[in-house]
Homo-oligomer: A and B are copies of this chain.
Amino acid sequence: MTYDERLERLLSTAAAVFAAKGFHPTTMRDLSRATGMSLAGMYYYVQGKEELLALIQERCFQRVLEGAQETLESSQGADGRLRGFIRHHVTYFAEHMDEMKVLSHEAESLSPQRQRPIDQLKRHYVNLLLSLLADAFPSADARVERRAAAYGLFGMMNWIYTWYDPEGAIAPGALAEQFTELFLHGVTPAAPSGAAAAVARAASPNAPRRSAAS
């Protein structure tokens, strides 16, 4: 195993522990136990606990951005590009829950100087979605509305880590489709043959009609 591979393993183990316990409650001794390395040994690869978090977030975000750009390059039309962006974000999130949870949930856990480069990636990514929305809906140009829609979508997608189980009933791809339809057309079945209604009906035609709050 090379140096780089061992660093990579340290980072992904740390991401899993951070995702499970939270960044601040996690101790270097926790990470030592999880990785099998000694307490001091980890400092050969990383300056300290905070750099661990910074590296995890930075690498994860870069991969998300790269994946999004690749998806956009192979998508056609404003609508197709927007759909591709959503699909990529949701599936990537669902398939890398640990890192993405750490990226989403620990967005304020770094010192300002370590936060800055990550915030720059975030600005870039948000602007990317805003420009996709502008291309797809040139008529709905109100700036605040577009921001609300963009952050609404990010909320929908980034909240995944609080409830979603990739091994559960909803596959990552299915979740991406549902969120795409939800964002584009809402829950309301638009027309008798509308896409959202069709998708919903096709999946489970005989589900119970009511569920009581308890």
Contacts and interface: CB of A to CB of B under 8 A. Distances in A.
Contacts of A182: 148-149, 152, 183, 186
A190 B123 CA distance: 29
A22 interface: yes
A167 to B, nearest CB: 14
Interface string A133-177: 111111111111111110111111111101110000110001100
Contact of A184 (B141, B144, B163, B188): B188
Contact of A159 (B138, B151, B197, B200): B151
A128 B185 CA distance: 23
B188 A137 contact: yes
B159 A144 contact: no
A207 interface: yes
A55 interface: no
Interface stretch (A4-12, A35-43, A105-113): A105-113
A27 to B, nearest CB: 12
Shortest 7 CB-CB contacts between residues of A and residues of B: A155-B159, A142-B204, A24-B24, A141-B207, A127-B213, A140-B200, A185-B186
